[in-house]
Amino acid sequence: MLNGTKIAFIGSGVMGEAMIKGLLTQGLTSPECIRASDPWLERLEYIHKTYGVEVTPDNAEAVRGAEIVVLSIKPQSLPKVGNDLHSKIHPDALVLSIIAGARIRTLQHKLFHDRIVRAMPNTPAQIGKGMTVWTATEHVTEHQLRQTERILSAMGEQLQVDEEGYLDMATGLSGSGPGFVLLIIEAMIDAGVHMGFSRRDAEKMVLQTIEGTVALMRASGRHSAELKNQVTSPGGTTAAGLYELEKASIRAIINDAIFAAYRRSQELGELSEKRDLS
């Protein structure tokens, strides 16, 4: 699917590196098929030494001859990169953007290009355990859709959606989700310390509890409510704790947090689009 395909990475930061590492580690491509750009020469030197890929500080040079162009830059870098790459990408090439908040219409305008995939990964993608939600324009070919699946799968799980609006929803649920989960983990660890465990022991217990619960749900294929009921004895310890959580409206709080992130993603996308298209 990707054998021999020339791939350019515009931006070699944390997420760009995660994608390069995943593609090479899983044998989906080889170093000679990848060219990466970045404004920081020290970063380029590290990427070259670590992965053996070709590097350049010149964005236009990076995309020369590329069949797939991955945009893995910060949103504030888009105006400059857009100027660098305007009309420089081959018309038949696939552009895969993981730029937060940059809508397809903005990318089409900046790059003068139509074959675009916009994706929203999350931070666990750095270790190949991420969740990426993506959508494509009608100009992307079936072959390029399959290539996108392979590339994004190198960072973990991937899900294609039909409409771009779902990416704002994904930002609230899976994109911002690690932050919400980490707050819960932090609170549980703090509770353990408050009870008398060392922080190291509390962290070990909480992390294994979270990881084990996720693994159990995946392996069993059962609904979370069913598994929750299984561990909740009438009048028992779990029932007492769940009562306090429900009394504090934990479901509504989590729902409100996810919807707040979703609405903020919509707002940032609108602001970015107005700025970049003005």
- What would the pLDDT profile of 49-91 be if each residue is shown by its tens digit? 999 999 999 999 999 999 999 999 998 999 999 999 999 999 9
pLDDT of residue 7: 98
Burial of 48: CB neighbours in 10 Å, binned 0-12, 13-18, 19+: middle
pLDDT of residue 277: 72
Annotation-wise, does 140 bind a ligand? Answer: no
Look up residue 256 and give its two tokens: 């409100």
Per-residue pLDDT band for 272 (boundaries 50, 70, 90) equals: confident
User: Strand locations in the chain, DSSP E?
Assistant: 7-10, 34-37, 54-56, 68-71, 94-97, 116-120, 130-136, 156-160
Annotation-wise, does 59 bind a ligand? Answer: yes
Annotation-wise, does 14 bind a ligand? Answer: yes
Mean pLDDT of the region 215-237: 97
| Rounded alpha-carbon distances, angstroms, from residue 82 to 113, 161, 268 | 11, 25, 19
Look up residue 189 and give its two tokens: 């660890």
Q: 72: helix, coil or strand? A: coil
Residues constituting the chain: 278
Annotation-wise, does 133 bind a ligand? Answer: no
| Rounded alpha-carbon distances, angstroms, from residue 94 to 15, 72, 81, 173, 195 | 18, 14, 16, 27, 54
- What would the pLDDT profile of 14-48 be if each residue is shown by its tens digit? 999 999 999 999 999 999 999 999 999 999 999 99
Query: Tell me, what DSSP letter sits at residue 247?
Result: H
Annotation-wise, does 253 bind a ligand? Answer: no
- What would the pLDDT profile of 166-220 be if each residue is shown by its tens digit? 999 999 999 999 999 999 999 999 999 999 999 999 999 999 999 999 999 999 9
Contact 36/59 with Cβ under 8 angstroms? no
- Provide the percentage of residues in the chain whose pLDDT is more than 90: 94
pTM over 0.95: no
Mean pLDDT of the region 263-276: 86
Report the chain's C-alpha Rg in angstroms.
Answer: 22
Annotation-wise, does 189 bind a ligand? Answer: no
pLDDT of residue 278: 64
Q: Which domains does the chain have, with CATH numbers?
A: 7-161 (3.40.50.720), 177-260 (1.10.3730.10)
CA distance 202 to 125: 26
Q: Which element (helix H / strand E) includes 194?
A: helix 177-195
Mean pLDDT of the region 90-109: 95
pLDDT of residue 228: 97
Annotation-wise, does 214 bind a ligand? Answer: no
